[in-house]
Copies of this chain bind each other. A is one copy, B any other.
Amino acid sequence: MSCHLPLLATLHAQGLRRTPQRTVIVEQLCHNRGHLTAERVFRLASRHLPALNIATVYRTLETLRAAQVVTAFVTPDGLTEYELRRPEVRHHHLRCRRCGGEWVLPGPPVERLRSQIVNAHQFHPDLDHLVLTGLCAKCAGGATPRSTQAG
């Protein structure tokens, strides 16, 4: 069962159109789990819909984000990346700025930070999806990180 149909239904339920462009973009997001830049989405999607325009890709990704179908986040490098939204799986990423390796950071440590911020400052931080760059153990001169590779 394709995963894009319920997502398109979500759009439709919000009064938004299920255009071929949006369909193919959502399909690619389903087929290529993990983070995708807009450019990559464009390249993947335009194989199936050659007349697709890059401006449409950006707009569609923004529409999907606003519709909470997709999560968009800015990496510390200043790149915007997109990922299908999985609200029940709150996770973060550790990304090595030297080798590019990436690991999943499970939710609890960041949740503790969130709690501390809420309690001490009554501030509600957007901490659903963090990408933290740094150096992995190997590049920093040590052993392998212990968490799972990112997916």
Cβ–Cβ contact A134 & B125, under 8 A: yes
What 1/0 flags go to A77-97 for Cβ under 8 Å of B?
110100000000000001011
Count of interface residues, chain A, beta-carbon cutoff 8 Å: 39
Q: Which of B74, B97, B145 contacts A122 (CB 8 A)?
A: B145
Docked complex Cα distance between A135 and B94 (Å): 25
- Within 8 Å of chain B (Cβ to Cβ): is A55? no
Cβ–Cβ contact A123 & B136, under 8 A: yes
A78 contacts across to B, CB distance below 8 A: 74, 78, 80
| Copies of this chain in the oligomer | 2
Docked complex Cα distance between A110 and B121 (Å): 14
A121 contacts across to B, CB distance below 8 A: 94, 103, 105, 137, 145-147
Beyond A77-B74, A126-B134, A127-B132, whether A109 also contacts B116 by CB under 8 A is: yes
Q: Which of B120, B135, B136 contacts A109 (CB 8 A)?
A: B120
Cβ–Cβ contact A132 & B125, under 8 A: yes
- Within 8 Å of chain B (Cβ to Cβ): is A32? no
Docked complex Cα distance between A140 and B72 (Å): 21
With A109-B120, A123-B135 given, name 7 new contacts (CB 8 A): A74-B76, A112-B113, A120-B147, A121-B137, A121-B145, A124-B140, A127-B132
